[in-house]
Structure 1
Amino acid sequence: MTRIVIIGGGHAAAQAVTSLRQKKFDGEVTLITDEGMIPYQRPPLSKMYLSGEITADRLPILRDSAYEGMGVDVKLNTRATQVDKKAKTVSLNNGETVPYDKLVLATGGRARKLTCEGSDLAGIHYVRTIADTDKLKPEFEAAQNILVIGGGYIGLEAAAVARKFGKTVTVLEAEDRILQRVVAPEVSAFYTQIHTEEGAQILTNQMVTSIEGTDRVSAVHTKDGSRFECDLIIAGIGLIANSEIAEEAGLETHPAGICINEFCQTSDEDIYAVGDVAWFEHSLYQRNMRIESVQNAVDQAKTAILHILGEEKPYAELPWFWSDQYGLKLQIAGLSEGYDKLVVRGAPSERSAAFFYMKEGKIIAVDCVGRIAEFMQSKKLIPAGISVDRAVLEDDSKPFKEIAAELLA
């Protein structure tokens, strides 16, 4: 094995290169991305990069020198159009064909687009790539009345930035509550309160049916007959996995992504898939899933490269996530689906609390706001599967590090 090809431009692609370098791989490495920048961080796009707190030069995960030092052939603004798994080649949109011994698909996903009437008008923006945010920025600065469609992380983070700049902000969420897919009703209520206190309007059960405007958006209509005027729309309504190239190559896929095993191998032993595009069974939760997080992208890339280089270490990492809104850091460890009890530690009214998701007396996930100790220690407690008494978690007078040490002893 002398040639490894990586397709992607995010955290998974950068980690694949890093892992190869750390393992002293001395073969040929080619990285292909259809973007104009070397692999970069996406989380800041809806926060610090949108607000102008950081500039584009702060986004790359590795510097150019890292790729040069590894001897990586980086192909920017280049799209992989076809994978021939029999010939073991990748065809590019510039007519070039790149051979591989092992191929890593870190193709990520793309923003789900609105499809209602008027969804092709100017003034509608999505936040997935740096090009998206660069296009949004000048209009964002000029706009005063911003409407956010979607009460997920992207939408709420963008709403928080808009309020920071004094914009009028309305968030329309189609479901009963914001963050419905990922947090408990109590956490949804907490963030609804935070946004309300900061001056944003959160409206739920608002399904957008059409967008009004001549050449540019001027208002949004919803299913209940409401009309909301705006001069800019930011939509965060989900992610679609970029799995088409795998499907066309004859690899096993699922509507949610590319199917992989515990070593991140696809149905072809020489092709791996990692990050936002990968559909897999998580050993800790015993169910199939696709995880959109930096942690998952990084750890799956590590697993894939280890396996490529002959080390078998099954992927079994605890998922974790974060979000920054109004100076508050939300840190989530684990997946809460299936919980039977919620235990709150701290004071949500004071914007400092940990929300523990319990199942049969054990912690399966935690949402922490301004609670780093609870977050860090829960990353140890959750995989350990230790039963915990509710009163122990609720006792905020005792440092959580001490509680965790006793439980893990």
Structure 2
Amino acid sequence: MATGMVAGMVVVGAGQGGLQVAESLRAEGYDGPITLIGEEPFVPYHRPPLSKAMLAGTMEEAQLAIRGADVFERQRIDLLTGVRVVAIDRPARRVRLEDGRSLDYRGLALATGSRLRPLPVAGGDQDGVLGLRSLDDARRIRAALDGAARVVVIGGGYIGLEVAAAARKRGLEVSVLEAADRLLARSATPFLAAFYADLHRSQGVVVELGAKLAGLDGQGGRVTGVRTADGRSRPADLVVVGIGVVPNTALAEGCGLPCEHGVLVDDCARTGDPAIVAVGDCTARRVGDAGALLRLESVQNAVEQGKSAAAALLGRDRPFTAAPWFWSDQYDVKLQIVGLSAGHDRMVLRGSPADRRFSAFYFREGALVAIDSVNRPADHMVGRKLLDRKAALTPEQAADEGFPLASLAR
């Protein structure tokens, strides 16, 4: 940093979480310098539409930007794009950039996100094998879909299923290969997973469960098919890999911050260093009496942690304890999830899965812990209030279409 300059707030990562930290610092009354640093050459943009509206062709790139360029000037946020931070010197309170520059900081926020988990079989580096994490990834997949006839999606998580839906809506042959015995094994209940398997099969997608990969075939450096351990090969013009992500913790680990499946933070987004906070996909926090590690990959988590992180950098407590929520769009089905269904011991339904319009309410020891709503947005909105207020909804009330849920949310 040049002599005479005041050390300000530095935010590493210009995604949803990083932008939220910067804007919340201004909203909290901080008037000093803010530098927002992003590796990608773009202004901060919305990521969820990449696998949804953008691949479906209902949204263009110009609509992805979270803020116009003028907003950064107006809020006096110095946005550096196409720049990578390579090291953090905690004793000196300084970050070093790949181009040799250094920036001193008063407070530092890490919003480094995550990266695609690599495919652990031979052939994954061929042309026509793509993953989806960034705008550039979405551009490549969208262009590849234009010239493809047969698409194989490896991984039956939300991203893989959203890509499969977009490809099938284009009329392409689509197969989804999932190694587990059901779809959405990490993130949904068996009931919801079965619903999505039926949904995709009804649209003509081949869904194969328990599919163990052996390798990817190719010719002239381009993928031609996917082989499984049972000896079969599925022809493919395009292979989309969606087997999860890995949190980007190298910067935090390199400067000695505690990390375990992510940068460890508390409910106020503080790390083990009082001058450093962390937000979004790169973080993990301990929850509950048992201190189980929770790592959430969602817009809501990035936004709420961003608000908490800004407050923490200014010496204020703003714990983020709201029920997590998430959504997915596939075909004409909009799924909205609130809460964490893991460990539930009872499920009751409102509506009809056959009509693709229902909500599944999950209970543990009589207490509501999560709701999955399919094409029932009102249930989702009231469900967020019910969970945040720990409302005493009973399974019998949840199953009764005539019971007014909103009466407990007031």
Q: Which residue of 2 aligns with 1:372?
A: 377
Which residue of 203, 210, 218 maps to 2:215? Answer: 210
Structure 2 CA distance for aligned equivalents of residues 246 and 168 of structure 1: 43
The equivalences for 1:234-253 within 5 A come to: 234-253=240-259
Give the 3 Å change call, closer, same or farther, for CA 403–52 of structure 1 in structure 2.
closer
What is the percentage of aligned positions where both structures have the same residue?
38
Residue 119 (structure 1) shift:
1.1
Which residue of 279, 286, 294 maps to 1:281? Answer: 286
Amino acid across the alignment from 2:125: D
Give the 3 Å change call, closer, same or farther, for CA 31–159 of structure 1 in structure 2.
same
Contact 2:197 2:207 in 1 (8 A): yes
Residue 9 (structure 1) shift:
2.2
Contact 1:284 1:318 in 2 (8 A): no
Contact 2:109 2:277 in 1 (8 A): yes
Structure 1 CA distance for aligned equivalents of residues 276 and 25 of structure 2: 16
Residue 362 (structure 1) shift:
1.4
Residue 285 (structure 1) shift:
8.8
Which residue of 6, 10, 16 maps to 1:11? Answer: 16
Q: Helix, strand or coil for the counterpart of 1:133?
A: helix
Contact 1:332 1:368 in 2 (8 A): yes
Structure 2 CA distance for aligned equivalents of residues 63 and 283 of structure 1: 40
Residue 21 (structure 1) shift:
2.4
Deviates more, 1:24-33 or 1:145-154: 24-33
Residue 209 (structure 1) shift:
1.6
Contact 2:19 2:36 in 1 (8 A): no
Residue 314 (structure 1) shift:
1.8
Contact 1:364 1:382 in 2 (8 A): yes
Instruction: Describe the superposition over 1:365-387 as per-residue Cα deviations: whole angstroms up to 9, x where unpaired.
Output: 11100111211111122233344
Which residue of 372, 381, 388 maps to 2:393? Answer: 388
Q: Which residue of 2 aligns with 1:362?
A: 367
Structure 2 CA distance for aligned equivalents of residues 345 and 180 of structure 1: 23
Structure 2 CA distance for aligned equivalents of residues 33 and 78 of structure 1: 6
Q: TM-score, normalised by structure 2?
A: 0.95
Q: Which residue of 1 aligns with 2:3?
A: none
Q: Indicate yes or no: 2:127 matched with 1:122.
A: yes
Instruction: Describe the superposition over 1:15-43 as per-residue Cα deviations: whole angstroms up to 9, x where unpaired.
Output: 11221222232100101111010111111
Q: Helix, strand or coil for the counterpart of 1:30?
A: strand
Q: Helix, strand or coil for the counterpart of 1:134?
A: helix
Q: Which residue of 2 aligns with 1:227?
A: 233
Contact 2:7 2:104 in 1 (8 A): no
Residue 225 (structure 1) shift:
2.2
Which residue of 269, 277, 280 maps to 2:274? Answer: 269
Contact 2:215 2:228 in 1 (8 A): yes
Contact 2:277 2:312 in 1 (8 A): no
Residue 218 (structure 1) shift:
0.8
Contact 1:8 1:39 in 2 (8 A): no
Q: Helix, strand or coil for the counterpart of 2:112?
A: coil
Which residue of 397, 403, 406 maps to 2:405? Answer: 403
Amino acid across the alignment from 2:254: E
Structure 1 CA distance for aligned equivalents of residues 194 and 377 of structure 2: 21
Instruction: Describe the superposition over 1:80-121 as per-residue Cα deviations: whole angstroms up to 9, x where unpaired.
Output: 000000111110011110110000000000111112011111
Q: Which residue of 1 aligns with 2:84?
A: 79
Q: Indicate yes or no: 2:189 matched with 1:184.
A: yes
Structure 2 CA distance for aligned equivalents of residues 388 and 12 of structure 1: 33
Contact 2:382 2:405 in 1 (8 A): no
Contact 1:207 1:222 in 2 (8 A): yes
Q: TM-score, normalised by structure 1?
A: 0.95
Structure 1 CA distance for aligned equivalents of residues 327 and 290 of structure 2: 20
Q: Indicate yes or no: 2:47 matched with 1:42.
A: yes
Contact 2:156 2:242 in 1 (8 A): yes
Q: How many residues are treated as equivalent by the alignment? A: 404
Residue 46 (structure 1) shift:
0.8
Which residue of 84, 101, 112 maps to 2:106? Answer: 101
Structure 1 CA distance for aligned equivalents of residues 110 and 118 of structure 2: 23
Q: Helix, strand or coil for the counterpart of 1:291?
A: coil
Residue segments in structure 2 that go unaligned for 5+ positions in a row: 1-5
Contact 1:14 1:62 in 2 (8 A): no
Instruction: Describe the superposition over 1:318-350 as per-residue Cα deviations: whole angstroms up to 9, x where unpaired.
Output: 110000000211000001111011111110000
Structure 2 CA distance for aligned equivalents of residues 285 and 200 of structure 1: 41
Residue 62 (structure 1) shift:
1.4
Structure 1 CA distance for aligned equivalents of residues 279 and 167 of structure 2: 33
Structure 1 CA distance for aligned equivalents of residues 288 and 324 of structure 2: 12
Amino acid across the alignment from 1:249: C
Structure 1 CA distance for aligned equivalents of residues 197 and 141 of structure 2: 25
Q: Which residue of 2 aligns with 1:340?
A: 345
How large is the RMSD of aligned CA atoms in angstroms?
Answer: 1.6
Give the 3 Å change call, closer, same or farther, for CA 168–251 of structure 1 in structure 2.
same
Structure 1 CA distance for aligned equivalents of residues 354 and 113 of structure 2: 37
Residue 2 (structure 1) shift:
5.3
Q: Which residue of 1 aligns with 2:164?
A: 159
Structure 1 CA distance for aligned equivalents of residues 69 and 287 of structure 2: 34
Q: Which residue of 1 aligns with 2:199?
A: 194
Structure 2 CA distance for aligned equivalents of residues 219 and 208 of structure 1: 11
Contact 1:283 1:316 in 2 (8 A): no
Instruction: Describe the superposition over 1:180-219 as per-residue Cα deviations: whole angstroms up to 9, x where unpaired.
Output: 1122211111111111111111110002120001211111
Instruction: Describe the superposition over 1:245-303 as per-residue Cα deviations: whole angstroms up to 9, x where unpaired.
Output: 1100111111x110112221111110111010111123599532111000000000000
